[in-house]
Structures are given as structure tokens and as C-alpha cells.
Amino acid sequence: MTDPRPYHILSYGTLLGSQVYQTFVSGIVAFRALPRPQFASLQSAQFPIYFSLQSGLPLILALTSSKNDQVNSLSDLLAAENRCTFIPLATAMVTGLVNMFILRPITMNVMRERKHQETRDGKKSYDPPPHSKEMMALNKKFRRVHGLSSLVNLVSLFATVYYGVVLGKRLS
């Protein structure tokens, strides 16, 4: 129970699996299968959990990283020879935190603004054009923030895959 290696592998598998599933399966299937309001509601409920996993699991990975069956200290993890371990884990954690505490709140705010504008315009943000200038500006802002969030998510996924390569090379 005190050997960190099983926790390390299980944490890595959970992180990579959740990232791949959310990025390439769940979001796409839900977008195609659900009406927009239900899709937005589902994503709004899933993202706090997903971003928490994306932020917390790299920390667990860092804490359970082992060398010669001993848990590394934080100073060992930060040492130059361990940068291949630290940098991808830090990247994955920071990108999850950026999505959770910066981009998600901005996105939610834009979605609320669009909802209010839909009421004023009498037309949904995703209805065919023409749209009011205000709605066009809000749609543009949403696309920009959502695209940035997706890019940040992909950076996290690539960092996690990179760490998997590093982890695989450590197996004997």
C-alpha cells in the first residue's frame, strides 16, 4: 500500500483516458446528439469535474513519481535531470487551472450575455443569420474564448502524452 508506483500508473491512466474521452468522444457525441441548450447544460456540469482532474492528477503523478522505489522529494523533481518529468506534468496542471479558473468563467459569462441578448433579439445565438451587432460580437467572443480553451486543452493532452513517453522509457 505504500509503494507509489501503482498510484502513479492509475493516475496517469485516469488522466490520459479522461482527456482523450472528453476531447475526442464525449464532447463530439453530445454536440451531435443533444439540442444546444441541453448540450451547454451538460458541458457546464462536466467541465468543473474534468478541469479538476486535469489539474489534480498531474500533482498526484508528481508526488508519486518514483526513482529506485523511493518517492522523490519536490527538490528532486525540480532537478535538471528530472525536467522531462516535471515540465509536462506542470504544463498539464497549469493548463487545467487556466481552463478552470480563467477561461471557463469567461466562457460562462459570455454564454450568459448571449442568453440575455437572445431575449432582447428574440432569436437564438445559433439561429441562421442575420444577427444583431451585439449578438455577432458575442458570438465572435465566444468562438475566440472557446477556441483558446480548446487549444489549452490540447496542450494539456500533448503534455500528458509526452509524459507517457517519458514514463514508458522508465519501464524496465
Query: What is the mean pLDDT of the segment spanning 4-18?
Result: 96
Q: Which domain holds residue 66?
A: 5-170
Summarize pLDDT for 54-74 with one digit per residue, the tens: 999 999 999 888 655 444 556
- 3-state DSSP call for residue 161? helix
Backbone angles phi and psi of 70, in degrees to 5: -115, 140
Distance in angstroms (rounded) separating the CA atoms of residues 31 and 25: 10
**Is residue 85 very low, low, confident or very high in pLDDT (cuts 50, 70, 90)?**
confident
Distance in angstroms (rounded) separating the CA atoms of residues 97 and 167: 23
If one counts the domains in the chain, the total is: 1
pLDDT value of position 70: 46
pLDDT value of position 2: 87
CA distances to 42, 63, 78, 83, 107 from 161, rounded to whole Å, are 27, 18, 20, 15, 27
Nearest to 17 by CA among 131, 164, 148: 164
Summarize pLDDT for 89-109 with one digit per residue, the tens: 999 999 999 999 999 999 999
The CA angle 52-163-103, to the nearest 5 degrees, is 35
pLDDT value of position 69: 43
Distance in angstroms (rounded) separating the CA atoms of residues 53 and 75: 24
User: What is the chain's mean pLDDT, rounded?
Assistant: 92
Quote the cell numbers at residue 153: 486543452
pTM attached to this predicted model: 0.91
Query: What is the mean pLDDT of the segment spanning 18-43?
Result: 97
Residue 27 has pLDDT above 80, yes or no: yes
pLDDT value of position 75: 63
